[in-house]
Structure 1
Amino acid sequence: MDDDMSQYYFTASMDSGKTLCSLLKAIQFQEISIAVLAECLNIFGSGEESSLKMYYRGEGSPLLLVLQPQSLTNVMTDCEISTQTADSVLELRDEDSSEVAKLVLKAPAFLGLLADLERSCDIMELQLSPEHPNVSIVTYGMQDRSCIDMPKSSEMVQSFSCEETVTLKYQLHHIRLIMKALAISSKVVVRFSSNGLLLLQLKLEKEDQRQMFSEFYIVPLLDD
């Protein structure tokens, strides 16, 4: 590997490649090309901890990985992963929109709430208000409708801010996609923008106390 870092657009190093692998698995929604990267990170086996270095020269270049197991000396492996160029990059942030409500929830409790929602429902409506009960979660299916009220005094809620009543709808399937990441998280920050965009920021924690963060953006359903 060339030591001249100036030729690379991106470089990174980590003491633990397994940490990155865990994060990738938490945000992997389906069997796409991200699985190739996860396999490379586990090239020495799931029980072996390895240091990791990554290099990327720029558009059209492969992603280069250098892994070195901690239990073996003078052993190193290089991997090259072909990259793709996106036709366009989806930009969800809107500089003209403002934050209208914010929730900080305990991730295990929120995971349990999502797991308990009726599987036949496909739409989730979130109602936030400065007045009691503060948060209402309404789910709709073909023949079912259910509602869960959650006041800001709930043990699940660590903080709550909302100055005016907000009602937004989302595909419940999109919300459930974060459940794998929630399972290894301690806290989730839920932010609502004036344009309806839902941002979920998760604080992930590993057994070795390493902390990681991931963000999920979910666009709202438009009224008919």
Structure 2
Amino acid sequence: MDDDMSQYYFTASMDSGKTLCSLLKAIQFQEISIAVLAECLNIFGSGEESSLKMYYRGEGSPLLLVLQPQSLTNVMTDCEISTQTADSVLELRDEDSSEVAKLVLKAPAFLGLLADLERSCDIMELKLSPEHPNVSIVTYGMQDRSCIDMPKSSEMVQSFSCEEAVTLKYQLHHIRLIMKALAISTKVVVRCSSNGLLLLQLKLEKEDQRQMFSEFYIVPLLDD
């Protein structure tokens, strides 16, 4: 490995490659190319802790991983992963939109709430208001409808702020995609913009107390 770091567009190092691997698995929604990276991080086996260094020169260059197991001295492996050039980058944030509501929830309780929602439903309506009950989650299906009210005084809610009443609809399937990440999270921050964009910020913690953060953006359903 060349010691000249100036030639790299991106470099990173971690004491634990397993930490990154756990995060990748939490946001892996389907069998896409992210699985290749996860396999490389686990090259010494799931029970082996390895330090990790990553290098990337720029567009068209491979991502280079250097892993060194903690239990084996003078052992190191290099992995190169081919990269692709994206045709375009989806920009979800709108500088003209403002934040109309923010909730801080206990992740385990929110995970339980999502798990209890009727599986046959495909649409979730989120109602936020400064007035009681503050938060209402309504799910719709072909024949089913259910509603859960969650006041700001609920044990699940750590903080709540809402400037004006807003009602938005989302694909419930998109909301459920965060459940794997929620399972290893302690807190989730829900931010709703005036354009309907939902931002879910998760604080993840591992057994060794390492902290990680993950963000999910969910766009609303448009009215017919």
Map residues 37-76 of structure 1 onto 2, 5 A cutoff.
37-76=37-76
Q: Write the distance in 2 (CA, Å) between the matches of 1:74 and 1:51.
A: 13
| Deviation (angstroms), 1:37 | 0.3
SS state at 2:142 partner = coil
Corresponding residue for residue 138 of structure 2: 138
SS state at 1:48 partner = coil
State TM-score, norm by structure 2.
1.00
Map residues 188-203 of structure 1 onto 2, 5 A cutoff.
188-203=188-203
Q: Write the distance in 1 (CA, Å) between the matches of 2:147 and 2:45.
A: 45
**Gapped runs of 5+ residues in structure 2?**
none
Q: Write the distance in 2 (CA, Å) between the matches of 1:146 and 1:35.
A: 36
| Deviation (angstroms), 1:193 | 0.2
Q: Deviations over 1:95-135 (max 9, x none)?
A: 00000000000000000000000000000000001110000
Which stretches of structure 1, 4 residues or more, deviate above 2 A after TM superposition?
Answer: none
SS state at 1:173 partner = helix
Q: Write the distance in 2 (CA, Å) between the matches of 1:14 and 1:163.
A: 41
Q: Deviations over 1:79-109 (max 9, x none)?
A: 0000000000000000000000000000000
| Deviation (angstroms), 1:164 | 1.0
| Deviation (angstroms), 1:144 | 0.7
Q: Write the distance in 1 (CA, Å) between the matches of 2:163 and 2:215.
A: 24
Q: Write the distance in 1 (CA, Å) between the matches of 2:11 and 2:37.
A: 16
SS state at 1:170 partner = strand
SS state at 1:20 partner = helix
Does residue 80 (structure 1) correspond to residue 80 (structure 2)? The answer is: yes
Corresponding residue for residue 218 of structure 2: 218
Q: Deviations over 1:12-66 (max 9, x none)?
A: 0000000000000000000000000000000000000000000000000000000
Q: Deviations over 1:135-181 (max 9, x none)?
A: 00000000111100000000000000002101000000000000000
Q: Write the distance in 2 (CA, Å) between the matches of 1:28 and 1:125.
A: 25
SS state at 1:147 partner = strand
Aligned residues: 224
| Deviation (angstroms), 1:78 | 0.2
Corresponding residue for residue 167 of structure 2: 167
| Deviation (angstroms), 1:189 | 0.1
| Deviation (angstroms), 1:209 | 0.1
SS state at 2:3 partner = coil
